[in-house]
A and B are shown apart, each in its own frame.
Chain A
């Protein structure tokens, strides 16, 4: 079984600040790391490959420095790493990125058929969560987003069963391979690589593919292929302090003032409470 994991190098957002004047991210002095969700995806891919005697290929689209993120993934046990790097790729939004990655996966698939593609559920720099689904759509694969657990995988029938996280609970779904999975943090715990694995990751050659290598159309990659426009980046305004109801003057007044204000904002809550009250009276 051949699994492809898509990863992204991101600025360590714990350290990122926004320049209040230019409204752009201040990246100088900020370390680049491998997106944490992607490390989980790679670890999950490696675990599956170990279980079903498969292999893992990691890919990323990014500048040459992104190589270090790929090496982190090799240390986790991926067999092969490919860097998609080309000036033409610069400035890509999620549409162009998913196109480029899908083109690469097509090429990888031609050489060695791919059963699964794993991505992090989102990248911590943009938080869009669009690239994984974008890849699935472009490749025509089934997609399983926000996956917290792979419950079963049956190579014979080509089916996979996963538990995915949804609002207020989780959902178990099953579908056919090939498929795209996007990983929640609890899908797997990235391992602390052994020394031989780490050494291998440092030495291994990383292939670099450009736009031509993946037969990407120039108008669909990079800035040209990116219809998204960022209007503005801003720091959310600081929240004002809460309202104070002074109980030193007239307690009753203060409490009434609070209730009015609170339920004025929480109309629904008030209605629910009143409805319940009605039941109780019946």
Chain B
């Protein structure tokens, strides 16, 4: 098409729309392409979002009617064996008061649509139902815009921002970044289970607009490096479980089998009892950590969010890294346009901003965490199993003396090759990988 733009953005997820809001606010002519029928149409189910990062893009997001499902007041961590599990949780009144909206659940389909609408109100042009299938390059080989799947669908832009998520046919085709390797992504399945709001309030012991998250580890991933999560939405629960893609391949396991088993676990079954499954999706997550991050910008382009493999696996933070990187990309673009230099050099402000922020600092801090998890499969098999056995023994009242029980447990541990020394080493290595 004849009309040209300052910035073309591929993907209307949290990364792309954050950038679009900032750019449009600065009066920069921006076009966003989204392959879904509407933004969010491809991003089903619920997710946790962080108010801080959203406020950085839209300070008045509450007044603008952000479709929040529940305000998270409690976080739980479960470590499960096949038949039981440990649970710790932390609830604080500050998250219902002063720090309300620190973390919230949203339905992505609703949230993305609302978020894109805010960008549109600020002046960005959000074009749905349109797939970017290729890139335009100028005579110097710079990215000079995009090609969409529609007739007369070429659009020239001074800068192109890739915010197209982790699974990118566009990257595969044009090579703007390398495809992640199987061990650098995890495959998650997610189910949304409908329950009346009152039932959720009762089962999680929260008020109407308040919610809980649970991160679940242990035997549930059957020896694969993985994790499950449970979030409360207003009148549904999001349950997801995922594991390293290479592990799925090597263990010949199917993700849907994991989620079906998880749903029958005694910690989970009563929470979801009577619920109706609304939707079911499978999705990749970038888990390669710091060392998997591709070149983040080049002549005429930048990459943000999942597409740039920015993900904090320890804290399950993807959306806020997406929003923060989208915002920083926009700021760098604004600078570059001002200087009229959209080359790799002109866009370098993006790299500096990321390096200077929690985005890359956190990822760097945890750079060895992925490897640690991947190499210690006992965390997802023998260890939670033995931990379960131990608790079982200690809690069973059967006339055996406690001292005798302790002895039995230690024996078990040793039989399972988990001497105290090995446990200490595991703890130490784990700590080192995230310190």
Interface residues of A (CB under 8 A from B): 29, 31, 192-196, 198-199, 202-203
Contact = CB atoms under 8 A, between A and B. Distances in A.
Interface stretch (B66-74, B150-158, B386-394, B400-408): B150-158
B125 A199 contact: yes
A195 to B, nearest CB: 4
B75 interface: no
A153 B122 CA distance: 46
Contact of B153 (A195, A202, A203): A195
A195 B125 contact: no
A192 B150 CA distance: 8
A196 B152 contact: yes
A64 B99 CA distance: 35
A255 to B, nearest CB: 46
B343 interface: no
A199 B126 CA distance: 9
Nearest to A29: B278
Interface string B27-49: 00001000001000000000000
A77 B166 CA distance: 35
Nearest to B150: A195
User: For the complex, would chain A's binding face be called helix, strand, loop or mixed by DSSP majority?
Assistant: helix
A202 B123 CA distance: 12
B127 interface: yes
Interface of B: 1-3, 31, 37, 125-127, 129-130, 148, 150-153, 155, 278
Given A199-B1, A199-B3, A194 B125 contact: no
Contact of A195 (B37, B126, B151, B278): B151
**Interface SS, B side:** loop
B125 A198 contact: no
Contacts of A198: 127, 129-130, 150
Contacts of B125: 199, 202-203
Nearest to A75: B129
26 contacts: A31-B37, A192-B150, A192-B151, A193-B150, A194-B1, A194-B153, A195-B1, A195-B127, A195-B130, A195-B150, A195-B152, A195-B153, A195-B155, A196-B2, A196-B3, A196-B152, A198-B127, A198-B129, A198-B130, A198-B150, A199-B1, A199-B3, A199-B127, A202-B126, A202-B127, A203-B125
Contacts of A202: 125-127
Nearest to B154: A195
A203 B155 CA distance: 16
A11 to B, nearest CB: 15
B1 A196 contact: yes
Contacts of B150: 192-195, 198
Nearest to A72: B129
A46 B129 CA distance: 21
Contacts of A31: 37
Contacts of A195: 1, 127, 130, 148, 150-153, 155
Given A29-B278, A194-B150, 14 more contacts: A31-B37, A192-B151, A194-B151, A195-B1, A195-B127, A195-B148, A195-B151, A195-B152, A195-B153, A196-B3, A196-B152, A198-B130, A198-B150, A202-B125
A224 B64 CA distance: 35
Contacts of A194: 1, 150-153
A45 to B, nearest CB: 20
Nearest to B37: A31
